[in-house]
Amino acid sequence: MFPPNSTLGIIGGGQLGRMSAIAAARLGFRTHIFSNVSCAPASQVANETTVGSYDNPEAIDRFAKAVDVITFEFENISADGLDRLASLKPVHPSGEILRTSQDRIIEKSFLNQHGIPTTSWLPIYNINDALRAGDTLSFPFLLKTTRLGYDGKGQAIVHNTDELNKIFNTLDPHPLIAEKIVNFNCEISVMVARNKLGQVTTFDVTENQHKNGILDLSFAPARIDIDLQKEAKTLAIHIANSLKLIGILGIEMFIADNGQILINEIAPRPHNSGHWTLDACPINQFEMHVRAVMGLPLPNAIRHSDAVMKNLIGPQGMRVWDSILSTQGLIGHLYGKKIAKSGRKMGHVTKLYPLHTLPGKYGSEYF
Ligand SMILES: Nc1ncnc2c1ncn2[C@@H]1O[C@H](COP(=O)(O)OP(=O)(O)O)[C@@H](O)[C@H]1O
Ligand SMILES: [Mg+2]
């Protein structure tokens, strides 16, 4: 267990690092951010920042030497960078978990090898593989980059062979992955945390709605059958144990129209769909993450309220900030980003409901 005043190093300076640093400070830890820009959202609330590119060995060494333990909020550090960090200080979650989640082919192979269901998929290394996917998965199917995709970027639906050639050449970097389209009733996610002692805890299942490939609304708890909620949590625990996770993991899942739960992807860090826990749980996802990384105990992830979370995205999101501030019952969070570019996550807002009173699916205005 790292004692109070130990320094947690966080790779990446975005909002997930910012909220992790705030949680760490509350537990009496110091934080040190590694970011490729100065004044990043996380740096604004941390003790120190090392500014440098994520593949600069000299900057990585300087950062690692100044901290006691390292975690990340940003997933795209190079394998070499990770190895270098791990040779200097403990890194949680491990580089191996990060490598698994960085690559959709490795990720889905890992899940399937551990008996965890996903949609049908094929690795696409060349155009012949892509043409075969049309036969095997049948049109339309999804073509995605295996690496560096986020918020729906780096993927496209392929409707026919003509489109296939174009999309194959546009998506970058290669290799690609072809996925069968899941007809889903809803998308859910589970945040699961695990520490070195093997203590595991899961937050309640979240229901997620996306707009233009970006998370728009999260509902907690998900308005699905209690048995499905239990099954989703059991799957999450199985994944965390299989990965020997130390830290927190966000797991995105589909509930297919036949009722089957399929895993979409995993992210070994706090997750946007877990932001509701900041306001609706005594211990939120960021604190649970920090506890796991610092070797602290992991009490059960209890929810004291139901919650709806809405992302504030780009200039439109910022336009409603004043009205959020003047509306009773809305809890606003801003991330300290200077320019409200289209598609950029600027903040979020949470509305709480007493336990078991979350409005049902239809006909409700949430905000
Ligand atoms: N195989 C699929 N079938 C149906 N919808 C999908 C599939 N894969 C992705 N999607 C939709 O696209 C969204 C973004 O895809 P995802 O693989 O999670 O990439 P990202 O890394 O951008 O979050 C998902 O949340 C889901 O709404
Ligand atoms: Mg996703």
Q: Could you state, in order of their start, the residue ranges of all structural domains in the chain?
A: 7-91, 120-180, 184-354
Q: What pLDDT, on the 0 to 100 scale, is given for residue 360?
A: 83
Residue nearest to atom 1 of ligand 1 (CA): 181
Q: How many CA atoms lie within 13 A of 251 on its CB side?
A: 33
What mean pLDDT is predicted for residues 77-93?
91
Domains 7-91 and 120-180 share a fold: no
Q: Check pLDDT > 70 for residue 264.
A: yes
Output the CA 152–ligand 1 centroid distance in Å: 6
* Measured distance CA(201)–CA(240) in Å, rounded: 10
Q: Is 182 in the pocket of ligand 1 (CB under 6 A)?
A: yes
Pick the CATH number of 120-180 from 2.40.128.50, 3.40.50.720, 3.30.1490.20, 2.130.10.10: 3.30.1490.20
Sign of CA dihedral 191, 13, 78, 127: positive
> What average pLDDT does the chain have?
95
Closest ligand 1 atom, CA of 104?
A: 17
The closest ligand to the CA of 254 turns out to be 1
Output the CA 218–ligand 2 centroid distance in Å: 13
> Which residue among 108, 264, 265, 269 is best mutated to probe the pocket of ligand 1, counting the most ligand atoms within 8 A of its Cβ?
264
What mean pLDDT is predicted for residues 263-291?
98
- Convert the pLDDT of each residue in 153-206 to its tens digit: 899 999 999 999 999 999 999 999 999 999 999 999 999 999 999 999 999 999
Q: Check pLDDT > 60 for residue 363.
A: no
Q: What pLDDT, on the 0 to 100 scale, is given for residue 95?
A: 92
Q: Is 142 in the pocket of ligand 1 (CB under 6 A)?
A: yes
Q: Helices marked H in the chain — which ranges?
A: 15-26, 57-65, 79-88, 95-102, 104-113, 127-137, 161-170, 226-242, 277-280, 285-294, 314-319, 321-325
Q: What's the longest Cα–Cα distance across the chain?
A: 60
Closest ligand 1 atom, CA of 119?
A: 1
Pick the CATH number of 7-91 from 2.40.30.10, 3.40.50.1220, 3.40.50.20, 3.30.565.10: 3.40.50.20
Q: What pLDDT, on the 0 to 100 scale, is given for residue 119?
A: 98
Output the CA 211–ligand 2 centroid distance in Å: 12
Q: Is 119 in the pocket of ligand 1 (CB under 6 A)?
A: yes
What mean pLDDT is predicted for residues 237-257?
98
- In which band, very low, low, confident or very high, does the pLDDT at 146 lie, cut at 50, 70 and 90? very high
Residue nearest to atom 15 of ligand 1 (CA): 152
Q: Which of 146-150, 214-218, 361-365 has the highest mean pLDDT?
A: 214-218
What mean pLDDT is predicted for residues 100-128?
97
Q: What pLDDT, on the 0 to 100 scale, is given for residue 364?
A: 59
Query: Domain 184-354, what fold?
Result: D-amino Acid Aminotransferase; Chain A, domain 1 (3.30.470)
Residue nearest to atom 2 of ligand 1 (CA): 181
Residue nearest to atom 21 of ligand 1 (CA): 150
* Measured distance CA(330)–CA(322) in Å, rounded: 11
- In which band, very low, low, confident or very high, does the pLDDT at 361 lie, cut at 50, 70 and 90? confident
- Convert the pLDDT of each residue in 41-79 to its tens digit: 999 999 999 999 998 999 999 999 999 999 999 887 887
Q: Check pLDDT > 90 for residue 91.
A: yes
Q: What pLDDT, on the 0 to 100 scale, is given for residue 359?
A: 87
Q: Is 150 in the pocket of ligand 1 (CB under 6 A)?
A: yes
Output the CA 137–ligand 1 centroid distance in Å: 16
Closest ligand 1 atom, CA of 252?
A: 18
